[in-house]
Amino acid sequence: MKSFKSAVIFDMDGVIIDTEPLYTKAEIRLFGEYGVTIPEEDWSLFRGYAEQDFFDLSMERYHINEDKDVFMAKGREYVHDEFKKNLSFMPGFHDLYNRVWEHYKIGLVTASPRHNLDWLQTLIGLNDLFQHIISGDDTARNKPHPDPYLAMIALLNVKPENTVIIEDSFHGLRSALSAGCHVIAKRGSVPEEKLAIAHRIVSNLKEITLELIEELLLEKI
């Protein structure tokens, strides 16, 4: 374990891995089988939710008359199909990672279920990049509650005020802020006005420099 007193924690989907369009393709395929076309304005509603919460909310919202386990199994199959064909890291991630790991403890907190992380380990060796990983299955409450980030902070043995979190979903931002951390929002599919709750907003990972991280850590929350 690194002896550094500060940490940088990454969200996964839409921050380090370009999974958002892959989930969207899989979900379009899944819901299309049930005659449902999800309105474009609805996509941002579900980003950042844990898998179980996503299926609960979406099945209710679009009146899906199917056994939940059957529906989820289909969804997982279609997501894995997309991952195998099109998975890639976000531009700038490796450069940012190489800058950060020399100076800070590093963790990953995601709402994605553990089985997706096991799949990603096979594809890209995800576990090898982070000191600890918290999945959507690892805490009693998920984002937007602070529990996942508080759990990671405890594992890394740092204080919230010494932690910078990089997020891209509204629920993830709320979770990170509720945990008492410094928060950087990455632009993506979430409306700008919802990102405004973060301490900083960037358009891509290349804009996150060591100077920006240090600047945030010096600010009082």
Q: What does the pLDDT look like over 101-146, one tens digit per residue? A: 999 999 999 999 898 898 889 889 999 999 999 999 999 999 999 9
User: What confidence tier does 2 reach under pLDDT thresholds 50, 70, 90?
Assistant: low
Q: HSE of 108 in the Cβ direction (CA atoms, 13 Å)?
A: 24
pLDDT tens per residue, range 156-166: 999 999 999 99
- Segment 206-221 shows an average pLDDT of 96
Does the structure show a pLDDT above 70 at 216? yes
Question: Is residue 63 a contact partner of residue 120, using CB atoms and an 8 Å limit?
Answer: no
pLDDT tens per residue, range 37-87: 999 888 877 877 888 889 999 999 999 999 999 999 999 999 989 988 888
Mean pLDDT of the chain: 93
CA 193/CA 128 separation, integer angstroms: 35
Question: Is residue 165 a contact partner of residue 221, using CB atoms and an 8 Å limit?
Answer: no
Which residues, 6 or more positions from 151, have their beta carbon under 8 angstroms from its beta carbon? 134, 138, 139
CA 144/CA 155 separation, integer angstroms: 20
Q: What is the pLDDT of residue 1?
A: 47
- pTM of the full structure: 0.84
Least confident span in 19-33, 136-150, 155-169: 19-33
User: What confidence tier does 177 reach under pLDDT thresholds 50, 70, 90?
Assistant: very high
Q: What is the pLDDT of residue 3?
A: 54
Tell me the percentage of the chain whose pLDDT exceeds 70.
99
- Segment 173-195 shows an average pLDDT of 95
β-pairing, 182-186 vs 200-202, is parallel
Q: What is the pLDDT of residue 42?
A: 86
Q: Which of 54, 56, 62 is nearest to 31 (CA)?
A: 62
CB atoms within 10 A of CB 173: 26
Name the residues annotated as catalytic: 11
Tell me the percentage of the chain whose pLDDT exceeds 90.
79
